[in-house]
Amino acid sequence: MRGGDIPGRKEQGMQMHDFMSLVANPILWQVPMVIAIGVFDGIHLGHQLILKECVSLAHEHTADSWQSMVITFNRNPKMTHGSKNNQLPLITARLEHEMFVSFDLDHHVIIDFSDEISKLSGEEFLGLVCGFCSVRAVVVGEDFRCGAPDKSAGPVQLQEYLQRMSPGGQVIVPPFYRTEDGLVASSSRIRALLLDGNIPGIKPLLGRDYSVDLAPYPFTTQAGCLRYRVSSIAQLLPPAGMYETVFRCLDGTARPAHVSIDAEFIDIRLPEQSGEMAHGKATASFMADSLGFVRSFT
């Protein structure tokens, strides 16, 4: 699963919940809630506008005890069927969760995208959400749709349903985020840029370097490098080549690194430490957090 499934588990101020567990045991049914719903693959600047709007609206009504919630999926529904089946995500559950924590959200609800969930209509889905909390507002993107393809709902339909299910509730749709060149920030655009090796083109859409999660995976030392197997990385990688990156450690430190990717391995060379690693002396200082891609070498 892309995330935890323990109802009510508290982590740095944000509670984690499994969607169907909340449906079965609606412990938040009396809590006034502002909810951001989406896939949030990569959490680009457009996604960030949605999350900021959600948190801001909840904070504006702190006196009325409003709280904020983000509802996501353990896997991208668009990647489970058809031509996009089994494509790797742009962000792991761990890095995604860390970003949600940084936005000061109160709740993170994860949907296990099962066959049962995939068959729900948009109206049925919203009904389940309105059943486990007191929905005051739903914040979604302009192109958001939920529900099975033949009975899905976009923002306009959701507003109609919400008025009936939670009178006074509103659907809020922040505008698309556009770069200075007028490009819309989207996960599909970032995916295309990444697969094309256009690393500098990604940062204006993400608002940060594209980061690959390394923490869950073992490494070996090989010829003065940290070596990871490409097959173990559960995240989309740029194409084979040489890259300038920032190697981030779990202790919060960061250092420049040169990275080589081929069909089998990711080799990370930390110039000032290569001699130490060449002698097999990799220590706790190499407990990797993530790898931020800056640019490719031509």
Q: What percent of the chain lies above the pLDDT cut of 70?
A: 88
Whether 13 has a pLDDT exceeding 60, the answer reads yes
Whether 282 has a pLDDT exceeding 50, the answer reads no
Q: What percent of the chain lies above the pLDDT cut of 90?
A: 79
**Tokens matching residue 182:** 């007028």
Q: For residue range 107-118, what is the model confidence (pLDDT) as tens digits?
A: 999 999 999 999
CA distance linking residue 74 with residue 93, whole number of Å: 8
Whether 222 has a pLDDT exceeding 90, the answer reads no
| Residue 98 CA: distances (Å) to CA of 108, 153, 158, 212 | 11, 30, 29, 14
Q: For residue range 113-143, what is the model confidence (pLDDT) as tens digits?
A: 999 999 999 999 999 999 999 999 999 999 9
**Domain boundary assignment for the chain:** 9-172, 209-296
Q: What is the pTM of this model?
A: 0.89
Q: What is the pLDDT of residue 249?
A: 92
Averaged pLDDT score across all residues of the chain:
90
Confidence category of residue 10, pLDDT binned at 50, 70, 90: very low
Alpha carbon of residue 2 to chain centroid: 9
Whether 285 has a pLDDT exceeding 60, the answer reads no
**Does the domain spanning 9-172 belong to CATH 3.40.50.620?**
yes
| Residue 160 CA: distances (Å) to CA of 70, 130, 131, 164, 212 | 21, 13, 17, 7, 40
Confidence category of residue 78, pLDDT binned at 50, 70, 90: confident
Q: Which residues contact 139 (CB under 8 A, 6 or more apart)?
A: 34, 35, 36, 37, 50, 53, 54, 57, 171, 172, 173, 174
Contact 141, 39 (CB under 8 A): no
Q: For residue range 47-63, what is the model confidence (pLDDT) as tens digits?
A: 999 999 999 999 999 99
Write out the DSSP string of 72-141. Answer: EESS-GGGSSGGGTTPPPSS-HHHHHHHHHHTT-SEEEEE---HHHHT--HHHHHHHHHHHEEEEEEE--
Q: What is the pLDDT of residue 98?
A: 95
Among 7-11, 94-98, 250-254, the range with the most confident prediction by mean pLDDT is 94-98
Whether 281 has a pLDDT exceeding 60, the answer reads no
278 compared with 155, residue with greater pLDDT: 155
Q: CATH second-level architecture of 209-296?
A: Beta Barrel (2.40)
Whether 99 has a pLDDT exceeding 80, the answer reads yes
Q: What average pLDDT does this structure show over 67-77?
A: 93
CA distance linking residue 227 with residue 220, whole number of Å: 5
